[in-house]
Amino acid sequence: MNRFVGAIDVVTAFACITTVVILARYWRRRLQKDVKVALGMLLVVMVFHYGSNVLEWCGITDALDPIEDYVEILEPALWGGFFYIFLRGLAERRLRASEERYRTLVDNLPQKIFLKDANSVFVSCNKNFAADLSIDAEDISGKNDHDYYPSELADKYVADDARIMACGRTMELDEQNVAHGQTHTVHVVKTPVKDRDGKVVGILGIFWDITDRKRAEEERKSLEAQVQHAQKLESLGVLAGGIAHDFNNLLLAILGNADLALMDMAPEAPARRNVGEIKKASQRAAELSSQMLAYSGKGRFIVEALDLSAMVEEMTHMLKVSISKKAILKYNFSKNLPAIEADATQVRQVIMNLITNASEAIGDRSGAISISTGAMEADRAYLQETYLDEDLPEGLYVCLEVADTGCGMSEETQAKLFDPFFTTKFTGRGLGMAAVLGIIRGHRGAIRIRSKFGEGTTITVLFPAIRSEASGPADEGQADDGQVDEAWKCSGTVLLVDDEETVLAIGKRMLQRLGLTVLIARDGREGVDVFREHQDEIACVVLDMIMPHMDGEEAFGELRRISSDVPVIMSSGYDEERVTRRFADKDLAGFIQKPYEFQELRNAMRSVLGD
């Protein structure tokens, strides 16, 4: 039996040596180094143990016996060490792998993440955060906000941290942040980090750039505000147009009656002066009505191709006397401007309003008002910055710029600038800029305001350019020479069609005063019936544009069907251009703008019926 034991010991010793050889031969292979060392030590002890057994069995020596007893004790201890080192290495590797995963996760997040201790000192951060600060992530440990941010921002961050640590709750906020030297808006979530006892020991922060989102939100809000503003203006425009329309009918009655009364009165009659005052007041009311129509964008009357530079140049004297004596006017006219299609009177009103406002903005101080004209290719981006960007087409626009060095406007004032009845002046009516806006809207133009409180205002008005040759402004004197030709009279029958009783009453009296027989009708349908009945005797029809049941356009068509040659004068509170355009191919005999005076009616009838 002992012989076999010895043989087994030889095999065991040989196996030990073989293992040592394998370990030595493949030392570089991927077992952890300290595991290999522990295994090596174990094998050395084993070699000694079984080697000494073999030597003893062979009878060579038993001198190692006493040592062998103690070396044997080492064997389980080294086995324990081997397993322990392996498990420790395994734990370390797992920890490293876990850290690696965590690091990969955190570093690949687009958000910026940081960890601070209870003193607001950075402990760690992810790569994105470090990249923002242009540092390596490892370098952040031990630094604080003051090392990287402007002191104001750093103070705020530290104060936020303190507040979170005090209340122990997560905080979310939008704030400014500096990355690569540029300021961004970021959304920050800061969470208190607590230990096992619930004590706050730090702050975990995560934030991301929302600059683009904020900008888009602001643009959207701005767009919504513009749309709302446009809708408000549209509603007010409709309201103003409606009021002006009814107002004109009333004014027609007042003016007409005043005119007739003046004609009937003896020159020395005491009431003549009073009636004259009534007429003047009515004329001023008609101007107001005209402004309201202008605001509604329905007040374009005489449209023609105009040279804007020439028009402003002609107004220079009038402008000079209209402004404060301490204000200097500077002109910068572009030559060979493309023409615009506009109502000269209304464009003058725009210029006057802008210049007057500029002068009032300068007030009693010294200042300058510069007026420039030019042409520009307006793209969508530029048009979006303007008021009235109601899908205006991109393209060539003629611009008028009025800049002053006055007091400027606050944002609040700018927001209400075009609101009817909004004024910053003690005596203002608040219709000037509203009318400007309406006129520009009526001309399919745009207006751009740049103003800063205390630094002056620049207003740019854009009119769409046209290709035709521009003419000089119309001579206003031709339209109304102010002379009453009371001598002209005629005879015949006129059909007056209007839905307004007062208009019918005064119109009838005026026409009768001209020697005409008057038939009246209260709407288009009735007008057609009356005309059908008296077509042989009716020499002319005065037709209102807007009426119930059958409007002026439809009634005109019916009249033409009955008689192709009866002269029809269209009457409306709205603009002539629109009316004449609608009747361009229909042989309209004339147009008379409400509220008209006796003389205007006489001129219209004279032009139709002749001398």
Partner 1 sequence: MPLWERNGRGRSGLKDFAVIQENEVVTLLLSLGVAIFIAQNRSRLASLPYHRFVVGSFLTLLVAHILTILEGFWYGEILNFVEHICYSLSVLQLAAWTWLVMGKGVRES
Nearer to partner 1, 11 or 271 (CB): 11
Nearer to partner 1, 88 or 489 (CB): 88
- How distant is the alpha carbon of residue 36 from its chain centre? 72
Residue 46 in tokens: 């084993």
Please report how close the Cβ of residue 37 comes to partner 1 at its closest, in angstroms.
Answer: 13
Nearer to partner 1, 69 or 481 (CB): 69
Nearer to partner 1, 100 or 587 (CB): 100
Distance CA 354, CA 371 (A): 10
Q: Is the CB of residue 205 less than 8 Å from the CB of residue 113?
A: yes
Query: What residues contact residue 274 under an 8 Å CB cut-off, 6+ apart?
Result: none
Which amino acid type is present at position 99? Answer: E
Nearer to partner 1, 69 or 287 (CB): 69
Q: Is the CB of residue 233 less than 8 Å from the CB of residue 437?
A: yes
Nearer to partner 1, 93 or 280 (CB): 93
Please report how close the Cβ of residue 96 comes to partner 1 at its closest, in angstroms.
Answer: 13
- How distant is the alpha carbon of residue 155 from its chain centre? 34
Nearer to partner 1, 46 or 538 (CB): 46
Please report how close the Cβ of residue 105 comes to partner 1 at its closest, in angstroms.
Answer: 22
Of 195, 208, 129, which is closest to residue 168 (Cα–Cα)? 195
Nearer to partner 1, 6 or 374 (CB): 6
Q: Is the CB of residue 52 less than 8 Å from the CB of residue 64?
A: yes
Distance CA 543, CA 537 (A): 17
Helix (H) or strand (E) holding 171: strand 171-179
Q: What share of the chain is helix, strand, coil (3-state, %, to 5)?
A: 50, 20, 25
Which amino acid type is present at position 273? Answer: R
| Torsion-angle region of 549 (φ positive above 0: left; ψ -120 to 50: alpha; else: beta) | left
Of 337, 347, 335, 300, which is closest to residue 465 (Cα–Cα)? 337
Q: Is the CB of residue 424 less than 8 Å from the CB of residue 432?
A: no
Please report how close the Cβ of residue 100 comes to partner 1 at its closest, in angstroms.
Answer: 16
How many Cβ atoms from other residues are within 10 Å of residue 125's Cβ?
27
Please report how close the Cβ of residue 18 comes to partner 1 at its closest, in angstroms.
Answer: 5
Nearer to partner 1, 53 or 120 (CB): 53
Please report how close the Cβ of residue 145 comes to partner 1 at its closest, in angstroms.
Answer: 43
Query: What residues contact residue 426 under an 8 Å CB cut-off, 6+ apart?
Result: none
Nearer to partner 1, 27 or 102 (CB): 27
| Phi, psi dihedrals of residue 306, rounded to the nearest 5° | -125, 150
Distance CA 16, CA 362 (A): 106
Residues that bind partner 1 in the complex, under the rule CB under 8 A: 1-2, 4-6, 8-9, 11-12, 15-16, 18-19, 22-23, 25-26, 29-32, 39, 43, 46, 50, 53, 56-57, 59, 62, 65, 69-70, 72-73, 75-77, 79-80, 83-84, 86-87, 90-91
Nearer to partner 1, 52 or 571 (CB): 52
Residue 250 in tokens: 């009333």
Which amino acid type is present at position 215? Answer: R
Please report how close the Cβ of residue 117 comes to partner 1 at its closest, in angstroms.
Answer: 33
* Helix (H/G/I), strand (E/B), else coil: 553: helix
Please report how close the Cβ of residue 44 comes to partner 1 at its closest, in angstroms.
Answer: 13
Query: What residues contact residue 198 under an 8 Å CB cut-off, 6+ apart?
Result: none
Nearer to partner 1, 17 or 158 (CB): 17
Q: Is the CB of residue 202 less than 8 Å from the CB of residue 193?
A: yes
Please report how close the Cβ of residue 34 comes to partner 1 at its closest, in angstroms.
Answer: 13
Of 427, 388, 433, 443, which is closest to residue 291 (Cα–Cα)? 433
